[in-house]
């Protein structure tokens, strides 16, 4: 069992939702990241169970991918809480600019939410009776942030570092730099004195040096052939969607590749448009093999029951 201060509680979530980190002190009850939209009622229930009659005061989003902010709207409707988001996303959220926000581009959903304040690298927060420094974490997402508590040597890393890797490097799918930024973030984490990492997905961990070694090796592997990142991105997005909707025809999935800009970009890096049906069957076949997350009868794709 990893020791965390009593003021920090981690709700480790499964597929679709990021982890939620609840930080409570006498003046503020704050939640870092809020999971996916379809899990929002469960997120509210987890927070209510932990807080009892006390309201949630603050939402902090490390970044605005749908699995990290999908519970914002329902939490805001449940409590009159403040919400802080990365400063570089403020204009897009204010206008609810779906061309700049990533929900439609990834084939995912997110109910519209509002914000009251913003965060940028270099800022400081007092959460859970602890002081946190806000660090930039571009790579997976150019707007992403991390929170670091030097006194307790705790890093809330979002999708910049997991125990076994990190999130898809989405900027590279749009022919923008992302691998170099991810490596720089990992190098910066290595310079910190970190005892515990609370990742965006998976359990908190203490084997930080080994996790960094694995992550740096993966960055090098992806940089050697960017098609690897595109293929991984498509597989991740396909599994995500199937776990949301549970079943889908191959034709519907192919239509998604045309409609969702990020999926379209990833597929375009791998094959010409005429070869996408074969590409999709190949990817789904990999995901269905060896008791994988999906199963298929050749016409329909179904999320495997776990």
Q: What is the pLDDT of residues 24-69, one digit of tens each?
A: 999 999 999 999 999 999 999 999 999 999 999 999 999 999 999 9
* Alpha-helical segments (H) within 1-105: 40-51, 66-69, 72-78, 90-95
Residue 179, pLDDT score: 98
On whether the pTM is more than 0.85, the answer is yes
Mean pLDDT calculated for residue range 180-199: 98
Mean pLDDT calculated for residue range 94-116: 95
98 band by pLDDT with thresholds 50, 70 and 90: confident
At residue 105's C-alpha, the angle toward residues 100 and 106, to 5°, is 130
Strand pairing report for 247-249 and 300-303: antiparallel
Chain segment 147-169, per-residue pLDDT in tens: 999 999 999 999 999 999 999 99
Give CA–CA dist 85/67, Å, rounded: 14
Chain segment 256-276, per-residue pLDDT in tens: 999 999 999 999 999 999 999
Would you say residue 1 has pLDDT above 80? no
88 band by pLDDT with thresholds 50, 70 and 90: very high
172 band by pLDDT with thresholds 50, 70 and 90: very high
Mean pLDDT calculated for residue range 182-209: 98
Give CA–CA dist 63/146, Å, rounded: 9
305 band by pLDDT with thresholds 50, 70 and 90: confident
Mean pLDDT calculated for residue range 237-245: 97
Question: Biggest alpha carbon distance in the chain?
Answer: 60
Name the β-bridge partners of 235: none
Residue 306, pLDDT score: 66
Cβ proximity of 16 and 24 under 8 Å: no
Cβ proximity of 113 and 73 under 8 Å: yes
Residue 135, pLDDT score: 98
Strand ranges, E, within the chain: 8-11, 20-24, 29-32, 58-60, 82-86, 117-119, 124-127, 130-136, 145-149, 154-158, 196-199, 247-249, 294-296, 300-303
Give CA–CA dist 113/71, Å, rounded: 9
Give CA–CA dist 35/32, Å, rounded: 10
């Amino acid at each position: 069992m990893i020791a965390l201060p009593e003021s920090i509680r981690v709700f480790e979530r499964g597929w679709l939702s990021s982890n939620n980190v609840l930080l409570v002190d006498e003046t503020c009850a704050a939640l870092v990241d809020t999971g996916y939209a379809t899990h929002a009622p469960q997120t509210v229930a987890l927070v209510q169970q932990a807080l009892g009659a006390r309201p949630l005061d603050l939402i902090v989003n490390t970044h605005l991918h749908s699995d990290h902010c999908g519970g914002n709207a329902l939490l805001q409707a449940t409590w009159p809480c403040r919400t802080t988001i990365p400063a570089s996303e403020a204009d897009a959220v204010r206008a609810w600019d779906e061309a700049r926000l990533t929900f439609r581009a990834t084939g995912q959903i997110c109910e519209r939410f509002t914000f009251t304040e913003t965060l940028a690298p270099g800022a400081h927060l007092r959460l859970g009776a602890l002081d946190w420094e806000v660090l930039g974490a571009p790579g997976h997402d150019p707007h992403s942030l991390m929170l670091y508590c030097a006194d307790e040597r705790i890093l809330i890393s979002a999708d910049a570092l997991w125990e076994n890797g990190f999130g898809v490097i989405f900027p590279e799918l749009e022919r923008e730099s992302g691998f170099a930024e991810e490596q720089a973030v990992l190098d910066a984490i290595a310079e910190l004195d970190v005892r515990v990492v609370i990742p965006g997905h998976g359990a908190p961990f203490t084997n930080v040096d080994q996790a960094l070694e694995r992550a740096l090796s993966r960055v090098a592997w992806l940089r050697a052939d960017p098609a690897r990142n595109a293929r991984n991105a498509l597989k991740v997005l396909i599994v995500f969607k199937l776990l949301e909707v549970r079943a889908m025809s191959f034709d519907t999935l192919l239509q998604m590749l045309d409609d969702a800009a990020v999926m379209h970009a990833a597929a375009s890096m791998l094959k010409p448009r005429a070869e996408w049906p074969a590409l999709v069957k190949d990817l789904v076949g990999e995901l269905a093999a060896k008791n994988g997350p999906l199963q298929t009868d050749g016409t329909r794709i179904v999320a495997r029951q776990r």
